[in-house]
Amino acid sequence: MNSRIETQQAAVSAMDSALDPQRARLVALAAERGVSLSALSGLLGRNAAYLQQFVRKGSPRKLEENDRRTLAEFFGVDEGELGAPTRETVQVVGAGTLPKAADWADIPRLPLGASAGPGTLALDLAPVDRLRFSGRWLRQQGLEPGMLSVIEVEGDSMEPTLRDGDEILVDRAPRPLRSGLHVIRLDDVLLVKRLEPGPAGTLRIISDNPAYPRMERARADVAVLGRVVWKGGRI
């Protein structure tokens, strides 16, 4: 744990006796994971001081539902530990069925495009809104909601796999690189391409549209930002 995180958490820990249970629990979870409150604020798409103000100044009085859910899923705890009321239930339609606990993850949609054409610069990473996924489905796929983002595809170089305007779910969790669709940064440009290992430490960067040429670049030149694990779009 770096000294900045230790200093921050030590300062907050000194106030634990004055904190309500939800704020104290958030501080404890951050300490256990070794992550700063400012980093967690960034995970929520908030300014760096957001959670520090929540903990130290009581502003906001309560975490917003989406923020609370994102933090609970990141830490792997129930939302009730972070101040959620009794969990909402939803009635499953059909005779003899029982209510089941609501289980959803709201994934941030980022206002940028991963180009499937000539490329665009990614400038603004603040979420514009969120796209809701089944928490159960995400767990079945081995995905952690806090490491997911939704972005839009721009251009036609990945047709027919991905079309202009499609939205893709990107898993940013660190994993061994394997062949498949990835969002990458190449020469300061954000792209969605198919990657395959090449010879002598290179990567093949492939457009599914045969009208676009393949590239081969040194692995060190390609920043792999995440793997594409889902797509959606208009028919």
For 126-165, the pLDDT digits (tens) are 677 889 999 989 999 999 998 999 999 989 999 999 999 9
Cα distances (angstroms) measured from residue 51 to each of 2, 40, 84: 19, 8, 16
Record: fold of 3-82: 434 Repressor (Amino-terminal Domain) (1.10.260)
Q: Tokens standing for 8?
A: 């921050």
Domains 3-82 and 104-232 agree in fold: no
pLDDT value for 112 = 66
Report CA Rg, the chain.
21
Q: How far is CA 101 from CA 93, 104, 136, in A?
A: 14, 10, 11
Residue spans per domain, the chain: 3-82, 104-232
Residue 136: C-alpha distances to residues 15, 72, 103, 132, 204 (Å): 37, 15, 7, 12, 34
Other residues' Cβ atoms within 10 Å of the Cβ of residue 44 = 20
* Distance (Å) of CA 106 to CA 56, 61, 82, 204, 210: 26, 21, 17, 33, 35
pTM for this one?
0.56
For residues 22-36, average pLDDT: 85
Rounded CA separation 128/80 (Å): 26
Q: Is the pLDDT of residue 19 over 70?
A: no
CATH class of segment(s) 104-232 = mainly beta
Cβ neighbours for 116, distance < 8 A, ≥ 6 positions apart: 153, 154, 155, 156, 157, 158, 159, 162, 164, 191, 192, 193, 207, 209
Residues 4 and 123: their CA atoms lie apart, in Å, by 27
Q: Give the pLDDT confidence score for residue 1 in this predicted structure.
A: 46
- pLDDT digit string (tens) for 96-119? 444 444 588 889 888 766 555 544
